[in-house]
């Protein structure tokens, strides 16, 4: 059994304040004996005002923030999965980038969100992530973690089963799905999709989420979840408040489920006409 910490946040426009929340959570994880900490999408900066965000993103601050989180991971002897933060990607655009920090001060593993959130909802909310962000191109796994092989995804990626199929093909033991889901889409789809992805991949899903009303005016759904390979919800942090919760990951559950329903082994290529 491995204890993990899941951080549900209401991130704002002040990266230093957001970092302080993560650092405090890391200390609590170390005190509790947790070996990993998972944070949501846009943990360090959640700001829909792109002109204001640009001042921070295109400065030296993101690189400094990465170095500081690496130091926190080392100090607390903790693996930290920062769900994502915005960083420059060249060509005048940014990347929505996830970081996996090992406690040994090795360079972090990075994953850039592949699917851009370009939607117009019936509620009137409209988002065009591709106007500022460049999509990632590579499927990324972290081979050695306290919970086995970990696949990295971010938020809207959840809606694209081909990515999770690729992570299933790599036999991921767990998949991180950090998110900042809107309230309407979260209420409609969040639980059912996360449970489906866990079942399809026969893997744990760990989904740290943003929650509540943010400084930039948006509202997010929350309900950070941990789902086991059978689709059972082990942790649901609710949709009202930020906070830190802990969950036990039983590695034996993966083999048990894959022995009962060997869907990964039975998968066949589907030809597309």
Active site residue 27: no
pLDDT averaged over 10-residue windows placed end to end, the chain, 273 residues: 97 97 98 98 93 92 96 98 93 92 94 80 66 88 96 96 94 97 95 97 97 94 98 97 98 93 81 77
Active site residue 75: no
Of the residues 29, 41, 200, 247, which is catalytic? 41
Residue 272 within a domain? no
Please give the Cα distance from 213 to 170 (Å, whole number).
37
Q: For residue 43, give its domain range.
A: 2-262
Helix (H), strand (E) at residue 195: helix 191-201
Residue by residue, DSSP assigns 74-86 as: HHHT-EEEEEEEE
- 213 annotated active-site: no
pLDDT of amino acid 261: 80
What DSSP state is assigned to residue 106? P
Q: What pLDDT score does 119 carry?
A: 60
pLDDT at 126: 60
Catalytic position from the list 29, 155, 172, 247: 155
**How far, CA to CA in Å, does 119 sit from each of 2, 151, 182, 185, 242?**
38, 25, 11, 11, 26
Give me the CATH number covering residue 31: 3.60.110.10
Residue 151 included in any domain: yes
What is the β-pairing status of strands 126-128 and 118-120? antiparallel
Q: Which helix (H) or strand (E) holds 236?
A: strand 233-236
How far lies 127's CA from each of 118, 121, 123, 170, in Å? 5, 9, 12, 32
Q: How far apart are the C-alpha atoms of 73 and 100, rounded to whole Å?
A: 10
**1 CB-near residues (< 8 Å, 6+ apart):** 248, 249, 250, 251
Specify the pTM: 0.95
Q: Please list, residue by residue across 28-56, b when 16 or more beta carbons sit within 10 angstroms of its beta carbon and e when fewer do.
A: bbbeeebbbbbbbbbbbbbbeeeeebeeb
Check 29, 113, 172, 247 and give the catalytic one: 113
Domain count, the chain: 1
Whole-angstrom distance, CA of residue 75 vs CA of residue 139: 30
Q: Closest by alpha carbon to 187, among 232, 214, 143, 220?
A: 220
Do the Cβ atoms of 69 and 21 come closer than 8 Å? Answer: no
């Amino acid at each position: 059994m491995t204890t993990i910490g899941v951080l549900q946040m209401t991130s704002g426009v002040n990266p230093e304040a957001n970092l302080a929340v993560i650092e405090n959570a890391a200390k609590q994880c170390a005190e509790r004996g947790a070996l990993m900490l998972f944070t949501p999408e846009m943990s360090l900066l959640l700001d829909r005002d792109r002109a204001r965000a640009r001042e921070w993103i295109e400065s030296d601050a993101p690189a400094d923030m990465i170095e500081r989180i690496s130091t926190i991971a080392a100090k607390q002897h903790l693996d930290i999965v920062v769900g994502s933060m915005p960083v420059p990607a060249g060509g005048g655009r940014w990347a929505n980038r996830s970081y996996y920090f090992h406690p040994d001060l090795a360079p972090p593993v990075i994953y850039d969100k592949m699917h851009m959130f370009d939607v117009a909802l019936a509620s009137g909310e409209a988002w065009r992530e591709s106007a500022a962000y460049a999509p990632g191109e590579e499927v990324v796994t972290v081979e050695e973690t306290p919970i086995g092989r970990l696949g990295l995804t971010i938020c809207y990626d959840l809606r694209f089963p081909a990515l999770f199929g690729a992570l299933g093909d790599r036999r991921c033991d767990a998949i991180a799905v950090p998110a900042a889901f809107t309230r309407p889409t979260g209420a409609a789809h969040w639980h059912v999709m996360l449970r489906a992805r866990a079942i399809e991949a026969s893997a744990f899903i760990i989904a740290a989420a943003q929650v509540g009303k943010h400084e930039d005016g948006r509202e997010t759904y929350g309900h950070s979840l941990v789902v086991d390979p059978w689709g059972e919800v082990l942790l649901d942090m609710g949709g009202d408040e930020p906070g830190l919760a802990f969950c036990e990951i039983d590695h034996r559950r993966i083999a048990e489920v894959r022995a009962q329903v060997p869907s990964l082994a039975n998968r066949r290529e589907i030809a597309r006409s």
